[in-house]
């Protein structure tokens, strides 16, 4: 029997990689997309367009539906219609800084949205049939109280996003313990890719390095340069989501590389990929990243990118995932991740440049 998976947040970075992964495994993939005034399906178009071309009359293996985590009747109807074997709840207002501007919406989507989905499973009588993965996060650790962070490290979230995800974590665990549901939390540390949203720091840096290298951008403005993060590759991380739902027991797992670097060092790696060596001058708000060859200031700090409360350092301990799921946390080291992202963004920047020249 073909397995059916429902992915919320399918148009996002992780949703697009997960959809590819599950289609490859022979799943029938169902995804929820939001109505928007412009197209929001760029990351997944290749999946259904290729499929349509391949066999116009065959039953499509990927199906998309309009929906929203704030609309419980919609979620109930979709779960009832699809009767999925597995649900991956990836939909979220996922930007930490934006959650300070949209705290209520973030709670509605990320916290109550998760409850709505769990309730939809129960209302449809599928609590013994449907397995659910909840996209939990290292932001739960926030002001860290143990280094590195593992499944037993206490939480201390530092943003409306982190607090909303804390509710989602516990409600998932509570439904597992109360109703015997196969409901699990993947506590994923930062993971990036060439499909990462452009306002997250890694992608902002790789895009800027590419554009600066071809003379299309003057400077890069960043917030806290000293933040430390445990950065992995999104493509490796979606495999874990699936592995967790194939495991015999419903359990929560930390997914991380076990290594951390600073935002500053990520900048150095990205600029090095485009042939620019960066050195640093000044301190605090006056720190500047300077091109060693030309002496030009390429990176400056802008306080508007600081958060009201910052998460200074995150470092995960992936031992449990390694041992129990057989997952390799060091498949893509951060140096390799930077190479993938910069190579992609260089091509993109050159294409933007060509298009602009055509209209000049
Ligand atoms: P993205 O921001 O790239 O994708 C978020 C997805 O959620 C998009 O498809 C978005 O739709 C959708 N979405 C947002 N709001 C709603 C809503 N109200 N109803 C329905 N769909 C909605 O995030 P990522 O792919 O990076 O992350 C996936 C999940 O994993 C998120 O829950 C995130 O919080 C969590 N996470 C991510 C980590 C990371 O480092 N990437 C680490 C740990 C956890 P649209 O495209 O229309 O905006
Ligand atoms: P994060 O990712 O908040 O960890 O959340 P982000 O890339 O936004 O920030 C990482 C660190 O870099 C610092 N920083 C900047 N951040 C942004 N966005 N823009 C800047 O200009 C900038 N300058 C410095 C930040 O202060 C922070 O310390 C991501 C999201 O994917 C969440 O959904 C997910 O849960 C966590 O990762 C794990």
Using one digit for the tens of pLDDT, what is the confidence trace for 261-305? Answer: 999 999 999 999 999 999 999 999 999 999 999 999 999 999 999
Residues 213 and 94 placed together within one structural domain of the fold? no
Residue 186 Cβ inside 6 Å of ligand 1? The answer reads no
- pLDDT for res 57: 42
Residue nearest to atom 21 of ligand 1 (CA): 91
**In sequence order, which residues have a C-beta less than 8 Å from that of residue 114 and are 6 or more positions away?**
69, 89, 134, 167, 168, 171, 172
For residues 130 and 215, membership in a common domain is answered with no
Confidence of residue 358 (pLDDT cuts 50, 70, 90): low
Question: Do 107 and 218 reside in the same domain of the chain?
Answer: no
Cβ atoms of 258 and 327 within 8 Å: the answer is: no
Q: Which neighbouring-strand residues pair with 291?
A: 278
User: For position 50, what pLDDT does the model report?
Assistant: 65
Closest atom of ligand 1 to 197 CA is 3
Measured in Å, residue 202 CA sits from the centre of ligand 1 at: 16
Number of domains in the chain: 2
**Arithmetic mean of pLDDT, 167-192:** 98
Residues 205 and 184 in one domain: no
Q: Say what the pLDDT of residue 241 is.
A: 98
Q: Which atom of ligand 2 is nearest to the CA of 135?
A: 35
Is residue 254 helix, strand or coil? strand
- The share of the chain scoring above pLDDT 70, in percent, equals 95
Distance 30 CA to ligand 1 centre (A): 16
- H helices of 69-185, in order, are 72-82, 96-101, 103-106, 113-123, 160-179
Q: 138, 166, 188 — which closes off a domain?
A: 188
Q: Is residue 252 part of a domain?
A: no
By three-state DSSP, how is residue 84 classified? coil
Whether 154 and 217 map to the same domain: the answer is no
Classify residue 344: in a domain, yes or no. yes
pLDDT band at 40 (very low <50, low <70, confident <90, very high): confident
Distance in Å, CA 354 to ligand 1 centroid: 31
Which residue owns the Cα nearest ligand 2 atom 27? 227
Is 348 found in the same domain as 223? yes
Q: Which of 14, 65, 112, 142 to mutate to test the pocket of ligand 1 (most atoms within 8 A of CB)?
A: 14
Any ligand 1 atom below 6 A from CB of 162: no
Element (H, E) at 337: helix 334-359
Integer CA distances (angstroms), 139 to 95, 149, 169, 316, 328, in order: 11, 11, 11, 11, 22
Q: Whose CA is nearest to atom 2 of ligand 1?
A: 94
H-helix segments, 214-333: 234-246, 263-273, 319-320
Q: Residue 359: its pLDDT value, please?
A: 64
Ligand nearest, relative to CA of residue 223: 2
Is residue 324 in some structural domain?
no
Shared domain for 181 and 297, answered yes or no, is no
Answer yes or no: do 206 and 148 share one domain: no
Q: Whose CA is nearest to atom 27 of ligand 1?
A: 14
- What CATH number has the domain bearing residue 342? 3.90.25.10
CATH code for the domain of 158: 3.40.50.720
Is 159 part of any domain?
yes
Nearest atom, ligand 2, residue 92 CA: 33
The reply to whether ligand 1 has any atom less than 6 angstroms from the CB of 15 is yes
DSSP three-state, residue 298 = strand
Angle at alpha carbon of residue 14, lines to 9 and 18, rounded to 5°: 95
pLDDT of residue 56: 47
Mean pLDDT of the chain: 95
pLDDT per position as a tens digit, 338-353: 999 999 999 999 998 7
Sign of the dihedral defined by the CA atoms of residues 270, 275, 279, 284, in that order: negative
36 — pLDDT class (breaks 50, 70, 90): confident
Nearest to 174 by CA among 246, 122, 233: 122
- Give the tens place of pLDDT for each residue, 68-97: 999 999 999 999 999 999 999 999 999 999
Range of the domain at 221: 201-229+261-313+332-359
């Amino acid at each position: 029997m073909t397995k059916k998976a429902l992915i919320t947040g399918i148009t996002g970075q992780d949703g697009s990689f997960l959809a590819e992964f599950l289609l490859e495994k022979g799943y029938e993939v169902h995804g929820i997309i939001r109505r928007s005034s412009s197209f929001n399906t760029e990351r997944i178009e290749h999946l259904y367009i290729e499929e349509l071309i391949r066999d116009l009359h065959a039953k499509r293996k990927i199906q998309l539906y309009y929906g929203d985590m704030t609309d419980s009747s919609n979620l109930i109807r979709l779960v009832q219609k699809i009767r999925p074997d597995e649900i991956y709840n990836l939909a979220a207002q996922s930007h930490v800084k934006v959650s300070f501007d949209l705290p209520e919406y973030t709670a509605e989507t990320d916290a109550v949205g998760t409850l709505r989905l769990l309730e939809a499973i129960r209302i449809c009588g599928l609590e013994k049939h449907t397995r659910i993965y909840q996209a939990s996060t290292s932001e739960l650790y926030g002001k860290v109280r143990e280094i590195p962070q593992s499944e037993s490290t206490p939480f201390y979230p530092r943003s409306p996003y982190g607090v909303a995800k804390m509710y989602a974590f516990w409600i998932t665990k509570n439904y597992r313990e109360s109703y015997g549901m196969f409901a699990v939390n993947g506590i994923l540390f930062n993971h990036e890719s060439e499909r990462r949203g452009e306002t997250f720091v890694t992608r902002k840096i790789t895009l800027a390095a590419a554009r600066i290298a071809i003379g299309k951008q003057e400077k890069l403005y960043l917030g806290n340069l000293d933040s430390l993060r445990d950065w992995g590759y999104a493509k490796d991380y979606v495999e874990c989501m699936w592995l967790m739902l194939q495991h015999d027991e419903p359990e929560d797992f930390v997914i991380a590389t076990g290594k951390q670097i600073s935002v500053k060092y990520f900048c150095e790696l990205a600029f090095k990929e485009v042939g620019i060596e960066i050195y640093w001058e000044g301190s605090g708000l006056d720190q500047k990243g300077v091109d060693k060859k030309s002496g030009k200031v390429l990176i400056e700090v802008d306080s508007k990118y600081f958060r009201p409360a910052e998460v200074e350092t995150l470092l995960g301990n992936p031992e449990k995932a390694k041992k129990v799921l057989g997952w390799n946390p060091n498949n893509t080291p951060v140096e390799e991740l930077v190479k993938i992202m910069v190579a992609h963004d260089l091509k993109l920047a050159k294409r933007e440049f060509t298009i602009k020249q055509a209209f000049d």
